[in-house]
Amino acid sequence: MSEVLNFTRTAEDTLWAVIASVGRTTRIAEIYPNRTAALADRAWREQQVRAYEGLLRSCRQKPPRYSVAPIRRQDLPRAWRPLPALGFLRGQFI
């Protein structure tokens, strides 16, 4: 075997994250293998926030803002879990 093989790194370790932000706190809401799926999830989450805007106001809960960004698999926190649509459970932002 005198031949040198070149291994190119594939983009499979790059994922697309939907990121929820409330004030200075940010959490990864969900991850997807492609940007299109992440954008669709972000749109759905924003629609849910609009639908429950009255509830959020009555609970004095700030509505989460959502964005989409690339993330590497190794940058995910070990105990990461997906967030609910509105980004909080039992009145607390997760």
* pLDDT tens sequence across 39-78: 999 999 999 888 888 877 887 878 888 999 999 988 888 8
**5-30, pLDDT tens digit by residue?**
665 655 567 899 999 988 888 889 99
Please, which residues bridge with residue 27 across strands?
Answer: 20
Close Cβ partners of 63 (under 8 Å, ≥ 6 residues apart): 22, 49, 53, 56, 86
